[in-house]
Structure 1
């Protein structure tokens, strides 16, 4: 098994970030990763998965705030859902051919990509990244954002998803470490504010 973690990148004031975490009711560690940029690392629920989307929505509600919920799954794929004004505005998936299997009411197999998009039996899944638009990610970064490097990082491919995630974060001019960690690791590092 590879690395898996769920984190949120929030751009905005620390007081707003703390208020959103409190409102969510989730336990989370908040770590600075750049000027007015915060890694929000939520505690996992039973099963080891940390829910991030609702907290990212809350973090993006204040004027001028944006947030990205990141999910790195088993070193295979990076999923990012970007939020502004409490609503999603962009989705990114590093590799569309990575999928999960499910069955419908008639016991037919259905494939879902990591964004939850369904594909009927026998369908050929697209390959490569989805949503690799650097302009969508720029508001999350700290100037100067290296858009050429960001575009290359989003396009991939990388053999390990966490390496690709680090490249994306570095291109945004952020410290990637706190955004590529688990809750337990973030607590142990003692960097929370």
Structure 2
């Protein structure tokens, strides 16, 4: 079994980040990852999964703020959703060919990618990353951002999802560690503000 975690990267000032976390009514650790950049690490429900999209929406509401929710699933695939003004403006999926199965009311198998796009049985999903556009991620980082490295990190296949996440954050010139922590790890780190 691989690594799974859910975190949020928020831009802006600490007062607004704290206010958004309080408004979400989620317990979360806030850790600085660069000037005006924060890892927000929520508690995982039942120790398994933490809801991050609603939290990222709230974190993006402050004027000039942005947020990105990151979901790394079992080292296999990563989903990132970027938010501004309380709305999603970009989605990223590290591997479109990674599908999950479910069944409809008639017990027919339906396949979905982790962005929720359905594929009928027998259909071949696209391969590679979806939304691998460095320009969409750039404002989340701090100068100097390595746009070429960011482009490679977003589109590179063959890496474990957490390695790809680390490469993306590194290209954005951010402290990668807190954005790959569970709530328990973040709390034990002593880095929270």
TM range (shorter): over 0.9
Q: Cα deviation per residue 1:16-65 (whole Å; 9 max; x = unaligned)? A: 00000000000000000001000000001125100000000000001110
Cα distance in 1, alignment partners of residues 99 and 122 from structure 2 = 13
Consecutive unaligned residues of structure 2, counting only runs of 5 or more, are none
The DSSP-based 3-state class of the residue aligned with 1:23 is helix
Q: Structure 1: 5+ residue runs without aligned partners?
A: none
Matched residue count: 193
3-state SS of paired residue (1:164):
helix
The answer (yes or no) to whether the contact 1:72–1:79 under 8 Å persists in 2 is: yes
**Is the contact made by 1:158 and 1:164 (CA closer than 8 Å) also made in structure 2?**
no
Deviation at 1:125, TM superposition (A): 1.1
Q: Distance in 2 between matches of 1:96 and 1:37?
A: 29
**SS of residue paired to 2:181:** coil
Whole-Å Cα distance in 1 between the matches of residues 24 and 98 of structure 2?
30
Q: Can you list the C-alpha shifts for 1:163-183, whole angstroms capped at 9, x where unaligned? A: 110000000000000001111
Matching of residues 84-95 of structure 1 within 5 Å: 84-95=84-95
CA distance in 1, matches of 2:102, 2:95: 19
The equivalent residue for 1:128 is 128
TM-score, normalising length: structure 2 = 0.98
Partner of 1:164: 164
Q: Alpha-carbon deviation of 1:159?
A: 2.7
Query: Aligned residue for 1:12?
Result: 12
Distance in 1 between residues matched to 2:13 and 2:118, nearest whole Å: 37
Over the aligned positions, Cα root-mean-square deviation in angstroms equals 0.8
Q: How does 1:130-149 map to 2 (within 5 A)?
A: 130-149=130-149
- Compute the displacement of 1:143 (Å): 1.2
